């Protein structure tokens, strides 16, 4: 175990415990001074312990006493946390049941300090902490007498501008892209004479190598912009203006700056050096910087000649956005072929495979693919194969668990560790948590942050009202520093970074992939990616009774159909339980034993119901039931879950109603779906749920017959909503048009000023209420009318100031659309059997429109000339047989794609070379007519 990493985790654990003690004391001890005094004493002791640990992180204590003390401290912190949790749980049960009994609550609080040898209490914990603090202070004094600083950031080697280009592969295009940015004319967009180009990418991807290639390029081929002064500065420590200014002067002149004793003299000297020079400066590996410090550093640098450039390499997108005056260059991983070339160069040098060992070529390519495009990994793996020409040795490496290799860990992890050291201790713990997930796992930001919340990893920020916002900030820090890479809407971790997370997890976080993997007693967070769950569960339950996380990642192995009872009976300290993606059909009632549980994910399972004992989970914050296609109903007493903040129900379409009393959960922030049942007054449940934010879908609105019920929902008070979807479920002959109109009109009685997206689906009325197009909806950017079949008139949506996307599907009575949408970027019209035309648009009325789709509009004859839309890029027309023409003139050069299907008249006019409109569209790069690609450039 790496014990300086453990100290980081213990420090983070204590910080969270301190905040919990403070919050607990404020909420519950106002009338019990003795308890308050003791809580304050415990808090002061914890602060002293936490401070001593942080001081000790500046050294590398290696003696066994220090290591044992850290483990004991962590164990004691968990005991204190569980003890406070027990009291919080009991108080929550009292509040969630009958009216709060103050005397009962006071007795619970006093029991914290009741003298007993049968169970841990705050007196015992205080006594143990006092002894540990003395021991910790004594150890720290001894370590300082023989201090060896852990150079968290400075330990990394300095880089230089020198490079052997013959050993670089796959970066020629990247080099020329940066070179072209450097030699391009133009000044800084932010003022000053110097332009700044950031190169951004994860650690080990080759940012420094690319900067070296750019630095050493022969700029004489560009005489008008050739740099007559070049400087390379490797940033090995945190940002310091005075130190960096010295480094820049020394890089420019090779002279000592020891006689320059203050920043003023340094900046005056640098200004003298740069005047009259067009310079290129590389600042390699800039991770942290504040705006005011950066501006101070730039003052003398802006005295160079116009055309001077600064190249900054960084792993932080935040830094790149702060310092860059040009678009950041996002450096991607190498191709497999480039990785192969680099690996083979390291392994065999000048040996020609074709003439010596051609059989190694195929094996080498497979090994290169495992490097996932990371040059650092290819170099290290290549060095392991250096001068080895035995095919068996190569096969052994190919077949081994390459990223678990201790040799590779010893090489790769130190190279990546500098970025990890720069993270705050609480964010390091959140990163180590990711080691429990398999390689190539798709991380969902919202889910991961809510798991961190459940674990208690997030330290409340007094400037934020929501702890989740702080958790999002933790995630963004990791993403900005390239620990996460975004793929679509999901996030992934590169294999090498995943390897780093395992190396720093300190056995506290453990992923079990084989049934013979050894679980240690101090493991607190566990994921199972193995088949024999029942065998493993028994061992887990007996070995790790203090387990706080249990992730059953069934999607990665044989799906699990039953959860072993031992998990619910023995693991009473669990905070996070994830059973999503399994084939679990039923939960045992003993799940009610998990009284500490904060996060429960049952998404994508076969559950039909949840046991009523769920009401015992008084501290549960997040309940995920996404895509539970068999789920029929929720627990009747879900209103007892007073701590519940997030109830995620998307895709659970067999739910027929919400349980009575759910409106008491006024702390709910996420209610992704609210299903109206047959009982009267269900809409009233929404009345006081004003903390709902994000997305809300209300289903089965056809069951609301009483206008008063619609008013009772008070949707206008849901000021945090940004996405609202209202659904009516229709059967033939069931539409009550007047009822639908009255209900929709009264659902929103004042503007939802933060609303960004609105969807009305299955609405049976003949007209829309005024609130739908209220100009006060200044943030509304997207509207979808789906299957509103009886509406024959479109509301004046053009008066919505920020509407960018409009989708209308199945509005069967609409005959004419005569509106202009000034900011609209995307328009989609489908299944409109009576629509004859879109009129009223003049040249350049809608200059932002980029996408236009018209499908299944058999009567449509009139369309604005498409040349009016100067930004139009994508056009698709299908099943519009009467549409005679697209445009009076040649379409804009912005056009990129035109698709025409089942539109007889358009097909004839747009025939290649022969059609009347061909000359108007021939410049479009992609043209498809009746599923045949006519042009593809």
Span 149-160, average pLDDT: 54
Which residues make Cβ contacts (< 8 Å) with residue 292, sequence separation at least 6?
none
Comparing 756 with 520, the larger pLDDT belongs to: 756
Span 384-390, average pLDDT: 72
Q: What is the dihedral of CA 247, 252, 258, 264, to 10 degrees?
A: -80
Judge contact between 510 and 525, C-beta under 8 A: yes
Q: Tens digits of per-residue pLDDT, 592-625?
A: 999 999 999 999 999 999 999 999 999 999 999 9
Q: Tens digits of per-residue pLDDT, 680-712?
A: 778 999 999 999 999 999 999 999 888 888 999
Span 139-147, average pLDDT: 55
Span 660-669, average pLDDT: 92
Q: What is the dihedral of CA 774, 780, 781, 784, to 10 degrees?
A: -70
How far apart CA 476 and CA 446 sit, in angstroms, is 12
Span 119-146, average pLDDT: 70
Question: Given this model, what pLDDT does residue 106 score?
Answer: 67
Comparing 672 with 138, the larger pLDDT belongs to: 672
How far apart CA 524 and CA 508 sit, in angstroms, is 5
Span 568-589, average pLDDT: 90
What band does 555 get if pLDDT is binned at 50, 70 and 90? Answer: low
Q: Tens digits of per-residue pLDDT, 876-903?
A: 999 999 999 999 999 999 999 999 999 9
Question: Given this model, what pLDDT does residue 812 score?
Answer: 95
- With 90 as the cut, is the pLDDT of residue 827 above it? yes
Q: What size, in residues, is the chain?
A: 937
- With 50 as the cut, is the pLDDT of residue 1 above it? no
Judge contact between 710 and 681, C-beta under 8 A: no
Comparing 643 with 403, the larger pLDDT belongs to: 643
Terminal C-alpha separation, the chain: 58
Which residues make Cβ contacts (< 8 Å) with residue 273, sequence separation at least 6?
229, 249, 252, 253
Question: Given this model, what pLDDT does residue 597 score?
Answer: 95
Largest Cα separation within the chain, whole Å, is 97
Average pLDDT, the chain: 84
Comparing 487 with 719, the larger pLDDT belongs to: 719
Give 575: exposed, middle or buried? Use CB within 10 Å, 0-12, 13-18, 19+. Answer: buried
Judge contact between 102 and 92, C-beta under 8 A: no
Span 479-494, average pLDDT: 84
Comparing 620 with 494, the larger pLDDT belongs to: 620
Comparing 754 with 358, the larger pLDDT belongs to: 754
- With 60 as the cut, is the pLDDT of residue 58 above it? no
36: three-class secondary structure by DSSP: helix
- With 90 as the cut, is the pLDDT of residue 91 above it? no
Judge contact between 139 and 223, C-beta under 8 A: no
Comparing 36 with 614, the larger pLDDT belongs to: 614
How far apart CA 609 and CA 635 sit, in angstroms, is 8
Helix or strand holding residue 141 (H, E): helix 122-145
Distances, alpha carbon 409 to alpha carbons 249, 405, 417, 437, in Å = 38, 6, 11, 18
817: phi then psi, degrees, rounded to nearest 5: -115, 120
Question: Given this model, what pLDDT does residue 874 score?
Answer: 97
State the pTM of this model: 0.83
Question: Given this model, what pLDDT does residue 138 score?
Answer: 73
Question: Given this model, what pLDDT does residue 370 score?
Answer: 79
Comparing 187 with 162, the larger pLDDT belongs to: 162
Question: Given this model, what pLDDT does residue 32 score?
Answer: 56
SS3 content of the chain, % helix, strand, coil (to 5): 40, 15, 45
Q: Which of 123-137, 373-387, 809-823 has the highest mean pLDDT?
A: 809-823
What band does 754 get if pLDDT is binned at 50, 70 and 90? Answer: very high
How far apart CA 498 and CA 517 sit, in angstroms, is 19
- With 90 as the cut, is the pLDDT of residue 391 above it? no
Judge contact between 215 and 161, C-beta under 8 A: yes
Question: Given this model, what pLDDT does residue 152 score?
Answer: 41
Question: Given this model, what pLDDT does residue 117 score?
Answer: 46
- Tell me the two tokens of residue 863: 């369309």
Question: Given this model, what pLDDT does residue 189 score?
Answer: 45
Question: Given this model, what pLDDT does residue 147 score?
Answer: 43
How far apart CA 497 and CA 423 sit, in angstroms, is 14
Sequence-ordered strand ranges (E) for 672-729: 673-675, 694-699, 721-727
Question: Given this model, what pLDDT does residue 870 score?
Answer: 93
- Tell me the two tokens of residue 205: 């991807």
Q: Tens digits of per-residue pLDDT, 286-332?
A: 888 888 999 999 999 998 888 889 999 998 888 888 898 888 999 98
**Given the structure tokens 């493991």, which residue do they identify?**
523
Judge contact between 462 and 490, C-beta under 8 A: no
- Tell me the two tokens of residue 288: 């942290």
Question: Given this model, what pLDDT does residue 146 score?
Answer: 47
| Cα of 336 vs its chain's centroid, Å | 27
Question: Given this model, what pLDDT does residue 538 score?
Answer: 72
Q: Tens digits of per-residue pLDDT, 761-820?
A: 999 999 999 999 999 999 999 999 999 999 999 999 999 999 999 999 999 999 999 999
Judge contact between 631 and 651, C-beta under 8 A: no
**DSSP annotation of 335:** P
Span 736-761, average pLDDT: 91
- With 70 as the cut, is the pLDDT of residue 722 above it? yes
How far apart CA 333 and CA 170 sit, in angstroms, is 10
Q: Tens digits of per-residue pLDDT, 411-430?
A: 666 666 767 777 888 898 89
Total Cβ atoms within 10 A of residue 744: 23
């Amino acid at each position: 175990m790496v014990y300086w990493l453990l100290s980081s985790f213990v420090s983070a654990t204590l910080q969270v415990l301190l905040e919990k003690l403070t919050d607990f004391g404020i909420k519950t001890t106002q009338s019990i001074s003795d308890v308050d005094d003791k809580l304050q004493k415990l808090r002061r002791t914890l602060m002293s312990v936490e401070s001593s640990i942080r001081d000790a992180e500046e050294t590398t204590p290696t003696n066994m006493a220090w290591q044992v003390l850290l483990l004991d401290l962590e164990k004691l912190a968990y005991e204190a946390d569980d003890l406070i949790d027990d009291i919080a749980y009991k108080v929550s049960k009292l509040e969630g049941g009958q009216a709060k009994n103050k005397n009962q609550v006071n007795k619970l609080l006093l029991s914290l300090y009741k003298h007993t040898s049968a169970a841990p209490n705050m007196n015992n914990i205080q006594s143990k902490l006092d002894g540990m603090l003395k021991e910790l202070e004594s150890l720290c004094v001894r370590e300082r007498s023989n201090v060896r600083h852990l150079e968290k950031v400075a330990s990394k080697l300095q880089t230089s501008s020198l490079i052997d280009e013959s050993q670089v592969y796959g970066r020629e295009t990247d080099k020329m892209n940066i070179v072209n940015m450097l030699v391009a004319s133009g000044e800084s967009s932010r003022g000053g004479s110097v332009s700044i180009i950031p190169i951004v990418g994860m650690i080990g991807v080759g940012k420094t190598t690319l900067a070296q290639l750019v630095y050493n390029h022969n700029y004489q081929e560009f005489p008008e912009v050739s740099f007559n002064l070049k400087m390379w500065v490797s940033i090995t420590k945190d940002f310091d203006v005075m130190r960096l200014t010295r480094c820049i002067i020394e890089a420019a002149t090779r002279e000592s700056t020891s006689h320059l004793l203050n920043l003023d003299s340094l900046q005056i000297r640098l200004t003298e050096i740069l005047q009259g020079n067009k310079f290129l400066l590389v600042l390699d590996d800039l991770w942290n910087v504040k705006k005011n410090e950066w501006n101070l550093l730039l003052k003398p640098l802006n005295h160079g000649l116009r055309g001077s450039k600064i190249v900054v390499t960084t792993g932080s997108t935040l830094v790149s956005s702060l310092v860059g005056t040009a678009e950041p260059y996002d450096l991607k991983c190498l191709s497999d072929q480039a990785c192969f070339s680099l690996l083979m160069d390291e392994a065999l040098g000048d040996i020609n495979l074709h003439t010596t060992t051609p059989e190694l070529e195929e094996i080498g390519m497979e090994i290169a693919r495992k490097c996932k495009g990371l040059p650092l990994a290819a170099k290290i793996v290549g060095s392991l194969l250096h001068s080895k020409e035995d095919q068996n040795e190569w096969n052994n490496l190919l077949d081994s668990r390459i990223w678990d290799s201790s040799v590779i860990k010893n090489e790769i992890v130190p190279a990546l560790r500098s970025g990890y050291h720069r993270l705050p201790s609480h964010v390091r713990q959140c990163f180590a948590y990711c080691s429990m997930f398999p390689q190539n796992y798709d991380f969902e930001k919202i889910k991961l942050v809510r798991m961190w919340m459940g674990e208690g990893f997030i330290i409340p920020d007094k400037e934020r009202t929501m702890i989740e916002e702080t958790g999002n900030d933790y995630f963004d820090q990791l993403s900005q520093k390239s620990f996460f890479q975004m793929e679509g809407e999901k996030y992934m971790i590169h294999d090498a970074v995943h390897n780093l997370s395992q190396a720093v997890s300190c056995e506290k976080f453990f992923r079990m992939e084989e049934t013979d993997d050894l679980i240690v007693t101090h493991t607190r967070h566990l994921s199972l990616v193995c088949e024999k769950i029942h065998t493993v569960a028994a061992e887990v339950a007996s070995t790790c009774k203090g387990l706080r996380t249990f992730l059953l990642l069934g999607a990665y192995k044989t799906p699990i159909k039953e959860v072993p009872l031992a998990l619910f009976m023995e693991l009473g300290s669990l905070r996070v339980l994830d059973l999503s993606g399994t084939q679990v059909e039923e939960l045992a009632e003993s799940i009610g034993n998990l009284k500490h549980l904060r996060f429960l994910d049952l998404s994508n399972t076969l559950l039909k119901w949840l046991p009523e004992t769920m009401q015992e989970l008084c501290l549960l914050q997040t309940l995920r039931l996404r895509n539970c296609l068999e789920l029929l109903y929720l627990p009747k007493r879900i209103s007892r879950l007073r701590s519940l903040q997030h109830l995620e129900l998307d895709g659970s379409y067999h739910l027929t109603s919400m349980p009575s009393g759910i409106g008491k959960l006024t702390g709910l922030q996420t209610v992704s779906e609210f299903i109206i049942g047959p009982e009267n007054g269900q809409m009233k449940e929404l009345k006081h749920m004003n903390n709902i934010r994000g997305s809300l879908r209300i289903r089965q609105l056809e069951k609301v017959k009483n206008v008063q019920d619609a008013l009772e929902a008070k949707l206008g008070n849901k000021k945090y909503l940004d996405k609202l979807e209202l659904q009516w479920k229709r059967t033939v002959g069931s539409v009550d048009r007047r009822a639908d109109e009255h209900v929709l009109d009264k659902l929103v009685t004042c503007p939802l000023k933060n609303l960004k997206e609105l969807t009305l689906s299955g609405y049976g009325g003949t007209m829309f209420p005024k609130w739908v197009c209220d100009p006060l909806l200044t943030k509304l950017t997207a509207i979808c009318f789906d299957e509103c079949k009886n509406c024959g008139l479109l509301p004046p949506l053009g008066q919505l100031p920020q509407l960018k996307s409009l989708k209308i599907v199945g509005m069967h009575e609409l005959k004419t659309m005569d509106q202009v949408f000034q900011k609209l970027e995307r328009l989609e019209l489908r299944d409109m059997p009576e629509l004859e035309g879109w009129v009223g648009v003049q040249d350049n009325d809608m200059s932002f429109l980029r996408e236009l789709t018209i499908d299944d509009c058999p009567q449509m004859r009139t369309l604005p000339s498409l040349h009016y839309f100067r930004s139009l890029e994508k056009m698709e027309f299908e099943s519009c047989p009467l549409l005679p023409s697209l445009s009076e003139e040649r379409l804009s050069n912005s056009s990129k794609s035109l698709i025409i299907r089942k539109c007889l008249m358009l097909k004839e006019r747009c025939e290649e070379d022969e059609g009347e409109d061909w000359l108007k569209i021939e410049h479009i790069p992609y043209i498809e007519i009746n599923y045949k690609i006519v042009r593809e450039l």
